[in-house]
Amino acid sequence: MKFVRLSHGSGGEETSELLSELLFSKVPDGLKKVSGGFGIDILDDGAVIPIGDSFLVVSTDSYTVNPPFFPGGNIGMLSAIGSINDVVVMGAKPIAGLDSVIVEEGFPLDELETILNSLVGVFQKEGVALIGGDFKVMPKGGIDRIVITTTVLGVAEKPIVDLPKEGDKLVITDHVGDHGAVIMMLQMGLSDAEELKSGMLRSDAKPLTPLLPAIKAYSEHINAARDITRGGLGGVLNDWARNSGGVLVIEGDLPIREPVKRYSEMLGIDPIYLASEGSALFSIRSEVAEDFLDTLKRQGFENARIIGEVRKSEKYRGYVLMKTVVGGFRVVEPPRGELVPRIC
């Protein structure tokens, strides 16, 4: 008999395989998108629906992070930020959101209030109207503490759909793996680590709406964009490699903090697979990549850098190859298994 495993919810290969078999293959092609838009025919952070001369971009996601409170935030702010960012990286300005909260009987009311205040606070700061939602309570043991689902709607003149092109440069906006490293350390019983207690290492969860001016300015040149959540950078790169032919990344150019490297190595996890909740990756035409990078840095993304490029030669043929710091090459495999359970 087959059973659902934790790895089926990791956002990696097992997730794709399960959804393809049990869901996507059963939806008729004509119902995988709204005419003139994009949906589950092109798997991205959200869906695109044409509305007159513009497009409605919609994204929905569920959040089950363990623990629900962590250095740098909590599940409430994470659930608002996550869906906002999914809409932003598709080139849309977020305008409205909905939430669904399922909480376990016995959950402390003061903690629930803190979580909901954080969720509302993010929407308020970003000017996103909270227009509806749902609230339910499960019997004790029927759910592990709290699960939040958020849906965000945005409007775009020219939405970005993940279709990387040969020769594109890969531009990352910030550090890799901060959020995943923090959750990993907490789950491994390292809450007393000096890097966490001092604030040196904390979740990078933040809205990516400051990227919108740069996205709009370079919309004709951006061929793909994604925030780096479940599956980490390695997951996004492998998705793009399958769609574009192949990807080369330079290990020495990856912006990874020293504490993230150190604890990942200690716990046997490659930081390239750890989630970031405030970093995005762009595939952009090579002739404007340096200008785009300069624009990002002027707009406050000082850690942005070019980390590689899209290639289609036989050598790459659907793979992600990493040029290591010692000059060799290694294959970055698609994420498999559940490296860090319930990370977001």
CA distance 297 to 101: 37
For the chain, 344 residues long, the average pLDDT of each consecutive 10-residue run is 80 83 90 91 87 95 96 97 97 98 98 98 98 97 96 96 93 97 94 92 97 96 95 93 88 96 92 96 98 96 97 79 93 82 82
What is the model's pLDDT at position 33? Answer: 92
Q: Which of 195, 311, 215, 208 is nearest to 260 (CA)?
A: 195
What is the model's pLDDT at position 87? Answer: 97
What is the domain partition of the chain in residue ranges? 63-153, 169-331
Residue 325 Cα distances to 175, 260, 268, 330, angstroms: 18, 17, 19, 11
DSSP state of 135: E
Global pTM reads 0.93
Residue 18 Cα distances to 3, 13, 15, 308, 342, angstroms: 11, 9, 5, 30, 18
CATH topology of domain 63-153: 60s Ribosomal Protein L30; Chain: A; (3.30.1330)
Annotate 276-289 with b (16+ C-beta within 10 A) or e (fewer).
bbbbbbbbbbeebb
Q: Which residue has the tokens 């680590």?
A: 193
What is the model's pLDDT at position 228? Answer: 94
CA distance 236 to 249: 12
Q: Which residue has the tokens 């904390």?
A: 202
* Strand spans (E) along 52-209: 54-63, 69-70, 73-74, 93-104, 129-138, 146-156, 169-172
DSSP state of 115: H
CA angle 134, 140, 145 (to 5 degrees): 60
Burial class (CB in 10 A: 0-12, 13-18, 19+), 94: buried
Tokens of 315: 């050598």
User: Do 75 and 116 meet the contact criterion of CB atoms below 8 Å apart?
Assistant: no
What is the model's pLDDT at position 69? Answer: 97
CA distance 271 to 279: 14
CA distance 4 to 252: 38
Q: Is the peptide bond before 71 cis (omega within 30 degrees of 0)?
A: no
CATH tag for 169-331 (out of 2.40.160.40, 3.40.50.920, 3.90.650.10, 3.40.50.10860):
3.90.650.10
